[in-house]
Amino acid sequence: MSASPFTVTPLVRRNMRRELVARIVLGAMVAAMVLPLLAIIAYLVAKGAPLISFKFLTTNPTHGMREGGIWSALLGTIYLVVIALAVSAPIGVLCAVYLNEYAKDNWLTRMINLAVVNLAGVPSIVHALFGLGAFVLFAGIGRSILAASLTLAIMTLPVIIASTKEALAAVPMSFREACWNVGASRWQTIWSIVLPNSLSGILTGVILQVSRTAGETAPIMFTGAVFFKKIQPGTLFAYSLTDQCMALSMHLYTVTTQVTNAPEPLPYAIALVLLGAVLAVNAASIVVRSLLRSRKKW
């Protein structure tokens, strides 16, 4: 009697065992990344949540930063992130459009692409020294929100260029050729077809820089952040571009290392607010990205 064609052969059993091993190994790697993050978040919530309140978010630090809230640092962080992205996002996207859609493939463009990739890995302290020399001293802006934001914009620009370039390259060339065949110009094709279909990838690259911009300390320490600055509580326009400001990242460093006899939950509460703000922005970007991807035709 012949064997059933559906009998599991030794080769199939060996492949199934390999598949099981691969699944276990990959699952363990995912757990090794996710579980520490969840543990950190849980620890911050347990330590800092009792101090979080509306008053904590909308009042200034008092009594040598041992009491009060974090309003001046929170508002300063918002200013720095918004202005930095307002500068870096348009410039980065336009640079990526030129490199991917207009520039010819020659030694010069290859050097530019290599320089962009290398700049993305430059330590933040180097960007801080560049911002100090270029914006604070040479341009005469002085230590201010504008100088700090421009430094952060320069720091995030290479990553935005690289991620946008990858998003543009992912759009099929047939889309461009179809537009050119009906008489559309190169810019009309980019504006009407390429950019809308790559917008989700561009948005991902831009929003991911919010985390890095909000969490940096060295660039703003050299160019615009201060130890303490009292502003009008609850006022969204308490800073001007020429003012120095507090920031959550530097405030956390200050409270942890410079302030004596600070309440134990205070640094954890500051870190929790910073982490929560970044997670909120990332969550909003995921929703927007999902909506944009659902409209794709390919």
For 226, residues 6+ apart whose C-beta sits below 8 A from its C-beta are 244, 245, 246
Residues 154 and 248 in one domain: yes
Contact 256, 267 (CB under 8 A): yes
Cα(224)–Cα(43) distance, rounded to whole angstroms? 31
**Nearest-angstrom CA–CA distance, 124 and 147:** 15
Task: Tell me the average pLDDT across 204-232.
Answer: 85
Please say whether the beta carbons of 289 and 204 come within 8 A.
yes
Residues 118 and 224 in one domain: yes
Same domain? 27 vs 152: no
Residues 47 and 188 in one domain: no
Domain hosting residue 110, numbered range: 54-294
More confident residue, 86 or 259: 86
252-290 pLDDT, tens digit per residue, is 988 888 888 888 889 999 999 998 888 888 787 778 777
If asked whether residues 36 and 177 sit together in one domain, one would say no
pLDDT digits (tens, 9 = 90+) for 49-67: 888 888 888 888 888 888 8
Share of the chain above pLDDT 70, in %: 96
Q: What is the pTM of this model?
A: 0.85
Do 43 and 58 sit in the same domain of this protein?
no
Model confidence pLDDT, tens digit, residues 112-154: 888 888 888 888 889 999 999 999 999 889 899 999 999 999 9
Residue 4 lies in a domain: no
Q: CA 114, 119, 120 angle in degrees (round to 5)?
A: 100
Residues 133 and 22 in one domain: no
Q: What is the pLDDT of residues 157-171, one digit of tens each?
A: 998 998 899 889 888
- Residue 163 has, within 13 A of its CA and on its CB side, a CA count of 20
